[in-house]
Amino acid sequence: MKKVIFALVAMVGVSMSAQTSKYVSVSTSFGNINGAGETVATNSYPSIEVGVIKHDIAFGLAFGASKFVQGKPWLEAKVTPSFPLGYVSGNIIFGLGSYLTNPEGKNDKIFTEVGFGISKTFSNNVGVGVSVSRWDGFDYVSPSVSYTF
């Protein structure tokens, strides 16, 4: 799985031209806390995403951990088309990823992400956004801050 994600990212990178913008985004995905010892620390996934944008479609690679404390690292390839919604932009999120370690001794777990969001990029190339997605079988709300260069 990891080789497939790296190959997809490499192919996208080769196909990009000089009209491409690059970005980096920092986010935390907050999941449901339904008791049973769950806290923000156990149900939140911090991440960093880097990628390129061409023709209002972002191609990104996100890396993060499954928890704030002692979480399993994961890697995800994402495609996010954007469209104008007046003052903000809307986006649709599609992702495919895998955990990088699996201490339970099970086979590599492949997960998907599907969702939507809104964002606003300001004149200084700093952007803010929020998205709602179903990631690895759970629902998350993810505020983010990004920089485009």
Helix (H, G, I), strand (E, B) or coil at 11: helix
Contact residues for 33 (Cβ-Cβ < 8 A; gap 6+)? 39, 40, 43
Number of structural domains found in the chain: 1
Q: Give the torsion sign (CA, 126, 133, 80, 75).
A: positive
pTM, rounded to two decimals: 0.81
The range of the structural domain enclosing residue 17 comes to 2-148
pLDDT at 31: 82
**1 pLDDT more than 90:** no
Select from 28, 89, 86, 25 the least CA-distant residue to 57: 89
Select from 99, 64, 96 the least CA-distant residue to 80: 96
Q: What is the CATH number of the domain that holds 44?
A: 2.40.160.20
pLDDT digits (tens, 9 = 90+) for 105-134: 555 678 899 999 999 999 889 999 999 999
pLDDT at 44: 81
pLDDT digits (tens, 9 = 90+) for 75-105: 999 999 999 999 999 999 999 998 887 656 5
